Structure 1
Amino acid sequence: MFHFSEIKSHPDLPLESHLSQVAEIALEILKNKKIDFNEFGISESCVQDLVKMTALLHDIGKSTTFFQKRLSTGYKFPNGEHQHSGLSSIIAYKPLIDYCVNNNIDKYIALAPIIAIKFHHSEFSNSVNILPNDYSMEKRIENFYKCILELPLLQSIGLSVNEFPPSPLEIDCEIEDLLSEFSNCLPEKKMQFNILTLFIYSLLLEADKAYLAVSDKDLYNRRAIKINRNAVDDYKIVKFTDSKTEVNKTREKAYCEVINQLDNTDLKNHIYSLTLPTGMGKTLLSASWALKLRDKIEAENGFIPKIIVALPFLSIIEQSSNDYEDFLGRPKEDIFLKTHSLSSLEFKDYEHNTAEFFINIWNSQVIMTTFDQLLYAFLSFKPKSLMRFHNLMNCIIIMDEIQALPPHLWDPFSNFINEITKIGNSYLLVMSATMPHIIDNAVELVPTQKDNQLEKGPERYFEKLSRYKLILKHKNLQNITEFIENLKSNLKNVDENKIMIVLNTRDSAKKVYEGLKKYSNGRDLYFLSSYVIPKKRLERINQINESKNALVVTTQCIEAGVDIDMDYVIRDFGPLDSIIQVAGRCNREGLKNTKNVKIIRLYDPNFKSNFNPSGEFNRMVYDNLSLDATLKILDVEGEEVLENKVFGLAKKYFFELKRKDLGASRTKCLLDLSHEYIKNGKNFKFDIRRELRGDLKQYNLIVENFAPELRKEIENILSANVDRWEKRRNLKAIANKISVNSISVNAYKFDPEEIAKKGKGNFYFLNPEYYDEEIGFNYVTPSNSYIV
């Protein structure tokens, strides 16, 4: 006969100890959070009780002969009898329901902890899979060690030996009734339920791993660390000694206007926007605002929030992180943590498991990450990502270049983030030179002032700019071959020293570059594309900045996050926000007279198809919604549009987009827990990665031409006599080296082994003949394949 002390959760850990530890950690994290579910009818003490019950019940299903044998021998039962999360949720059902009834809480609220328990070892699933019963459940119940129910901790939350065994079939039926009750709730209630579920789930996930991942228990803490609120101001004094140019004066004016009004900020407003032209120093301004707001929140609300900086591209992260590291004084990772797919797994020289765990839970004061990782934290279904969700409570989120968020995610993003910031006492700042109307209640940080008897906000900064003007030549389609021929004869007549031609596809950019090789008229010729490995792209960008006479042919990879300054730009037609982003690379510092940004519209008759009848390159990469909105806005303009008119055009453009369906069906499917929506008559499962990246499969191909030692390094790591986790960590250590020597190919019906050799660990090494030193990846796509 087993005694409950003999029942294990892990090889060297009694189940009772594990449950107690997880409850202790989850409650400790919760104690440091200031959250408010009162509108949902759930008090602070009720949230605390639900979190405690979830933690104490999450692994109760391990108390079976099957799981204990699996733990001691490694034997995996063929029908999954050793699995425990479903049984845990069945045993948890009655005490959770009783708690809701006894505390006058809607019974469907019990589903939140039940879902957290059911999926704490698997992907967060839809309502169909919430039902915990399966064909092995009766066996598990028959082989359950009931002595675990004698634990005082478990009896204190309503478990009793006398009420065992439960009836899985009855519980399934009752859960279906609760789901039916939930389906009749208003959207606001459904959203609050989703936030509560994600919050409990994320607390459980972190607490479940904490003492197992952190060898030295004293290292694990979630206490906030103070940061000098004037760190950016002090940095600016040292860094920027010359502020005499007009652009620098304008930057400083904007900085002072925003910062000086911060003391009067009403903390009841949770969402803010910062709309300023490109080159106005938004990175440092937003950082200073966040540090000072952090101080204000501590003084008025009694807690110190994290700062989470989310950026759309890795290239921007590398530039912005340098600024943050500088003004924070080159801090350790517990102060500033840069985390993305290529970042290292180092954290304060801690051992590997501890370091990786702290990185995964964002255990830092300032976190810099990607849009993807931020969105995964509340729109993904994967435990590793959702474990971070509670970090979104009591934090300040900065999202730069917010226009990079795909329009079909505007509705789910705005709905979720509004509720997260309200319940979680968090604050969001979105920034852009072309601010989309994503969140209607955002408070603009650039103050409104009287200008010529008119009240004006951000437009004051746009109306005084004359760095460039748009020359609109997009109304007439132009064959790309004719475009190249015209350039050949006209380039010699262009007086500007630094010219940039921006194309929509890599193939069209390659065609223009090849056509102009002998006609650059003495200028240094450069080619930029994501088909050029990042290491070489960065080298070329540095060369372009140093060059006095340059002709650059590029794709849209220079739209955001690339700091270059050109004299004349030609841009193939695209969405208005993309056009404006590219225009921001023309006469960036405003040191010259007004320069031209010419907008054309190219097509290739060979690319006409049912999908793209016109053969336009813009239709190959952008959605019709944004292209048609841009045409509607620009077609009523004259041939020239000065920079000071761009702000008004952007407002019209995003208003036009807002009138369309921007993901409401996606929001609905997340709220009702179905996770499926209908688009164009077809059913789609919501998958945030696909929503961000599209349906094409991505292949990463390593280019050995510039790193011949990489293959051997990878093979040595994968062949080493160490466990898989050590191999993974060692691969992560060279991830950046792999990345800067790789290209990504998004393709359909494409076999990478036709052009690359498959190495150990599913790494593909591009055959040398398919990489050209000038244009990068050089491959003619077969007619039955599709590569973007």
Structure 2
Amino acid sequence: MFCAHINQNTLKEQSVKEHLYNVSKLSMEYGGKISLGVTGELIGLLHDMGKLTNKFDSYIHYSSLNPGDKSLRGSIDHSTAGAKYIYDNFYDAKDPYQRLAAQIISLSICSHHGGLIDCLELDGMDRFTDRMNKDKDFFFDEALSNFKSGCSEMNDINTLLSNSKKEIREVLLKINKIGQSAKFGQFAAGMLAKYLFSCVIDADRYDTYLFMEDREPEQNVDKSALWNELADVLETKLKNYPKLTRIDLLREEVSIACKNFGEKSPGVYQLSVPTGGGKTLSSLRYALEHAKKFSKDRIFYIIPYTTIIDQNAKDIKDILGREDIILEHHSNLVIDNQQEEYKLLTERWDSPIIFTTMIQFLDTLFSGGTQSVRRMHNLANSIIIFDEIQTIPIKCINMFNSAMNFLSNICNTTIILCTATQPLLATTEMPLKLSENPNIISNMQEKFQEFKRVDLIDKRIVGGYSVALLKDFVLDKMDQLESVLVILNTKKAAKEVFNELKKANTDLAVEKQYCIFHLSTNMCPSHRMKILQNMKKKLGHQRVICISTQLIEAGVNISFGCVIRSLAGLDSIAQAAGRCNRHGEKNCGDVYIVNIEGESVNKLADIKMGQEATARVLDEFKENPNNFDNDLLSPKALNSYYQYYFHDRRVEMNYTLPKPNNDKSMYDLLSSNKEAVLAFRNRNDYDPKLMLRQAFKTAGDYFQVIDQKTTSVMVPYERGKTLITLINGSCSLSEIKQYLKEAQQYSVNLFETDRRKLEEMGAIIKLKDAVIFALRDEFYKDDVGVTFEGVSIEFYNY
């Protein structure tokens, strides 16, 4: 028997044959969701063929007996053998579908430990063919002989490949029917390869985890029964919701429209509802009806900020009463490095209802390595609800649009774009293909007028407000109101204004003093939720001021007497307005736009360009308000804003690479890779013979949703202290997995510059072979969260 894995606790051995069959079965199930079951089965069956050698068998037994010796890790190539067998026997064919099937299968197998490799590198080097023609120092003949004698007949492989070719052909015909450019077709073929790669990665990691933990696979949930149960619970709860005010009745209209729309076939739709229109519950009502009718596997909520996950997930857990079937995935707490055992802990997105961030979602589709991509196949046959879709980074727009077209048309995924401010995604160079009659709310213009609860007031001044001047402006409003929310563009500005108002509070007469709160992404989710809950209790009963970054402005169900918003994109200002007079407590509330002296947003391109487009609309509104229906929050005003914003940034939408490759785009790397093809041609005097030419690894290495990479760090806030101690102690993989799930609530995403400074100060502890990071007690404070005591740093916002 050749050994694939050894359980260190029981010393039980899993044979390579058993592992191959388990993985092929799972990979077939995952691939089958988009009619690629045979292809998934074949990849799984061959992925670890290279382990069928005496050399690997000796290595696995030595490593089990000497767990502290990591010197041999990665020294034996076991991921090329199966790929090379397919390439040698099936790639050199005239049939283009067979060649494509063979390349996708070989690519998935040879990449399954480090991430998808480049087919063509930017300099024109053909890495795929080089890998397939690698010298046979990986005992290929021995592995192949043992596979033939112990695992599978070659006739079986021939039959599987023949059927795989038919599957690939059918999917490519579907891609062609989408009716977009040849470049999109190449992009979609790359997405197809990535989907199948996801299937084998997740199958491999999941089977290994089950064996190492001596566990049985979790039983599949009866989704049909679950959706019916949850829909009934929601309908019962909604019947008891108050329907007293004008806003209550309008929200009910939106909710009923969403329920009825759930009967429509899967597609790409828009839910355009003014802020405070009850999008979260209405979209859930839609999703449950749609999931029931069309037998969907999962419901995803993709949220722009982690704060909204905290509240929305809690609201839905409370309503549905089923915390066990709802996952909150804020960040990856396990660092993606070479520690194989910890890679088994990566979040899989296998829960029925999942709340996650736009960052995690886009990483799943586009980042490199093997950590995030394993989740991709679980997006198939699901419902994906994008809350506040306008927050998608400009540079990702064309890749996002094309990926949504792939998911919708190939993976039977229903896409819902939710916002009060719909961006013009169907009008870009690579447009999103909306379904026919895509608007869930048909009388949108009328609804915006009915929901009007605030006036937007331009209060910009020459030179901008200093911290002291802004403090005076806030206190002036507090003389007339009981609560004010101030939203600023950077954590640095928010912290300065908070400290100024905190100091000013002590000088006021007792009857004028206020409760002051500060919210920042330097605080962990549990901390922010506690502040929000405390603030909600005091609103309406005590005088309240809150200073926050933009994290509060979308999806947080809270209402202030007025809002002061630092100049930003009009879409952001519209979201901020949703925190004012949210429930129509008075006839109309005021939202003031201010500019801040010395505010540094030069490194925050989305905010800077948004400011410029908004300033243009504000100036035009002064000249002729009738052009905007006399309302800066009207659909006309927002449409004008997006036309300026998108037009000025249209060249950025393909994700331009950083220097020295800023003449190339990531969209091109993931589709035609034309610059690499040209470099290959110049090097060889002929075109590459590859079916897929993408530079997957290069694109994955470059990809970052936000311009500076972040690292998730556990923080010692309340229960977080205990979790850090538990994880650092002696515990099994399954226990760590449970602790990490809980630790999502006690983690903060730090930019690299901030993390490095904290490391230099000795503030960060590395747990479990440096795959999990934690913060020391003294670097986390109740009022500001993560703190850099005595260190001058540049704050960033996201």
State the TM-score bracket (shorter-chain normalisation): 0.7 to 0.9
1:51 aligns with 2:61: no
In structure 2, C-alpha distance between the alignment counterparts of 1:513 and 1:382, rounded to whole Å: 41
1:651 aligns with 2:639: yes
TM-score scaled by structure 1?
A: 0.78
Q: 1:89 aligns with which of 83, 92, 110?
A: 83
1:747 aligns with 2:753: yes
Contact 1:420 1:426 in 2 (8 A): yes
The CA deviation at 1:284 is 1.4
In structure 2, C-alpha distance between the alignment counterparts of 1:620 and 1:91, rounded to whole Å: 49
In structure 2, C-alpha distance between the alignment counterparts of 1:480 and 1:151, rounded to whole Å: 76
Contact 2:483 2:544 in 1 (8 A): yes
In structure 1, C-alpha distance between the alignment counterparts of 2:313 and 2:792, rounded to whole Å: 43
Q: Pick closer, same or farther for the CA change 1:730–1:429 going to 2, 3 Å.
A: closer
What pairs with 1:414-433 in structure 2 (closer than 5 Å)? Answer: 414-433=401-420
Q: Which residue of 2 aligns with 1:469?
A: 455
Q: 2:103 aligns with which of 101, 107, 111?
A: 111
Q: Which residue of 1 aligns with 2:118?
A: 126
Contact 1:30 1:48 in 2 (8 A): yes
In structure 1, C-alpha distance between the alignment counterparts of 2:670 and 2:269, rounded to whole Å: 25
1:189 aligns with 2:182: no
In structure 2, C-alpha distance between the alignment counterparts of 1:78 and 1:674, rounded to whole Å: 39
Deviations along 1:467-524, whole A, 9 cap, x unmatched?
A: 11111123633241562475388457x4122122222223323333333333666141
In structure 1, C-alpha distance between the alignment counterparts of 2:275 and 2:251, rounded to whole Å: 10
Contact 2:526 2:745 in 1 (8 A): no
Q: Which residue of 1 aligns with 2:392?
A: 405
Q: Pick closer, same or farther for the CA change 1:735–1:262 going to 2, 3 Å.
A: closer
Query: Which AA in structure 2 matches 1:192?
Result: A
The CA deviation at 1:667 is 1.7
What pairs with 1:224-263 in structure 2 (closer than 5 Å)? Answer: 224-229=223-228, 231-232=230-231, 234-238=233-237, 240-263=240-263
The CA deviation at 1:556 is 2.1
Contact 1:59 1:84 in 2 (8 A): yes
Q: Which residue of 1 aligns with 2:287?
A: 290
The CA deviation at 1:375 is 2.2
- For CA contacts below 8 A with separation 6 or more, give which structure has more relative contact order: 2
Q: Which residue of 2 aligns with 1:207?
A: 203
Query: Which AA in structure 1 matches 2:255?
Result: Y
| 3-state secondary structure, aligned to 2:378 | helix
In structure 2, C-alpha distance between the alignment counterparts of 1:354 and 1:685, rounded to whole Å: 26
Q: Pick closer, same or farther for the CA change 1:151–1:542 going to 2, 3 Å.
A: closer
Q: Pick closer, same or farther for the CA change 1:141–1:255 going to 2, 3 Å.
A: closer
Q: Which residue of 2 aligns with 1:62?
A: 51
Contact 1:505 1:621 in 2 (8 A): no
Deviations along 1:416-468, whole A, 9 cap, x unmatched?
A: 1111210112210110111112244335665676xxxxxxx312111223311
The CA deviation at 1:599 is 0.8
Deviations along 1:193-234, whole A, 9 cap, x unmatched?
A: 213212322222233344443345564548644334484465
Contact 2:77 2:138 in 1 (8 A): no
Contact 1:675 1:686 in 2 (8 A): no
Q: Which residue of 1 aligns with 2:704?
A: 691
Q: Which residue of 2 aligns with 1:681?
A: none
In structure 1, C-alpha distance between the alignment counterparts of 2:108 and 2:157, rounded to whole Å: 19
The CA deviation at 1:278 is 1.4
Q: Which residue of 2 aligns with 1:735?
A: 743
Q: 1:507 aligns with which of 455, 468, 492?
A: 492
What pairs with 1:571-610 in structure 2 (closer than 5 Å)? Answer: 571-604=565-598
Contact 1:55 1:204 in 2 (8 A): yes
User: Which of structures 1 and 2 has the bigger CA Rg?
Assistant: 1
In structure 1, C-alpha distance between the alignment counterparts of 2:450 and 2:255, rounded to whole Å: 17
Query: Which AA in structure 2 matches 1:735?
Result: A
1:277 aligns with 2:274: yes
Contact 1:702 1:743 in 2 (8 A): no
What pairs with 1:494-533 in structure 2 (closer than 5 Å)? Answer: 494-516=479-501, 517-518=503-504, 522-530=512-520, 531=522
In structure 1, C-alpha distance between the alignment counterparts of 2:467 and 2:310, rounded to whole Å: 37
Q: Which residue of 2 aligns with 1:19?
A: 20
1:364 aligns with 2:351: yes
Q: Pick closer, same or farther for the CA change 1:324–1:355 going to 2, 3 Å.
A: farther
Contact 2:205 2:343 in 1 (8 A): no
In structure 2, C-alpha distance between the alignment counterparts of 1:781 and 1:676, rounded to whole Å: 48
The CA deviation at 1:86 is 1.7
Query: Which AA in structure 2 matches 1:467?
Result: R
Deviations along 1:352-379, whole A, 9 cap, x unmatched?
A: x999979843333333333233223322
Deviations along 1:135-155, whole A, 9 cap, x unmatched?
A: 763352365462432457331
Query: Which AA in structure 1 matches 2:27?
Result: A
In structure 2, C-alpha distance between the alignment counterparts of 1:675 and 1:370, rounded to whole Å: 33
Contact 1:471 1:598 in 2 (8 A): yes
Contact 2:261 2:286 in 1 (8 A): no
Q: Pick closer, same or farther for the CA change 1:634–1:322 going to 2, 3 Å.
A: same
Q: Which residue of 1 aligns with 2:166?
A: none
What pairs with 1:384-783 in structure 2 (closer than 5 Å)? Answer: 384-439=371-426, 440-443=432-435, 446=439, 457-474=443-460, 476-481=462-467, 483-484=469-470, 486-487=472-473, 490=476, 494-516=479-501, 517-518=503-504, 522-530=512-520, 531=522, 535-545=526-536, 546-547=538-539, 548-604=542-598, 616-619=599-602, 621-623=604-606, 624-638=608-622, 645-659=633-647, 660-664=650-654, 665-672=665-672, 685-687=698-700, 691-695=704-708, 698=711, 700=713, 702=715, 707=718, 714-715=724-725, 717-720=727-730, 722=731, 725=733, 728-729=736-737, 731-732=739-740, 735-736=743-744, 738-739=746-747, 744=750, 747=753, 751-753=757-759, 755-759=761-765, 761=767, 763=773, 765=775, 768=778, 774-775=783-784, 779=788
The CA deviation at 1:297 is 2.1
Contact 1:66 1:143 in 2 (8 A): no
The CA deviation at 1:120 is 1.3
The CA deviation at 1:93 is 1.1
Contact 1:9 1:15 in 2 (8 A): yes
What pairs with 1:304-315 in structure 2 (closer than 5 Å)? Answer: 304-315=296-307
Deviations along 1:569-609, whole A, 9 cap, x unmatched?
A: 221111111111111111111120212111111123xxxxx
Query: Which AA in structure 1 matches 2:199?
Result: L
Q: Pick closer, same or farther for the CA change 1:712–1:354 going to 2, 3 Å.
A: closer
The percentage of aligned residue pairs carrying the same residue is 22
Query: Which AA in structure 2 matches 1:119?
Result: S
> Unmatched 5+ residue regions in structure 2?
7-12, 122-126, 160-180, 335-339, 427-431, 655-664, 678-696
The CA deviation at 1:651 is 1.8
The CA deviation at 1:111 is 1.2
Query: RMSD in angstroms over aligned alpha carbons?
Result: 4.0
Which sits farther off after the overlay, 358-367 or 594-603? Answer: 358-367
In structure 1, C-alpha distance between the alignment counterparts of 2:740 and 2:550, rounded to whole Å: 29
In structure 1, C-alpha distance between the alignment counterparts of 2:423 and 2:675, rounded to whole Å: 26
Contact 1:577 1:650 in 2 (8 A): yes
In structure 1, C-alpha distance between the alignment counterparts of 2:196 and 2:545, rounded to whole Å: 55
In structure 2, C-alpha distance between the alignment counterparts of 1:272 and 1:256, rounded to whole Å: 16
Contact 1:675 1:685 in 2 (8 A): no
| 3-state secondary structure, aligned to 2:546 | strand
The CA deviation at 1:645 is 4.1
Q: Pick closer, same or farther for the CA change 1:253–1:491 going to 2, 3 Å.
A: closer
Query: Which AA in structure 1 matches 2:533?
Result: N
Q: Pick closer, same or farther for the CA change 1:529–1:288 going to 2, 3 Å.
A: closer
Which sits farther off after the overlay, 643-652 or 224-233? Answer: 224-233
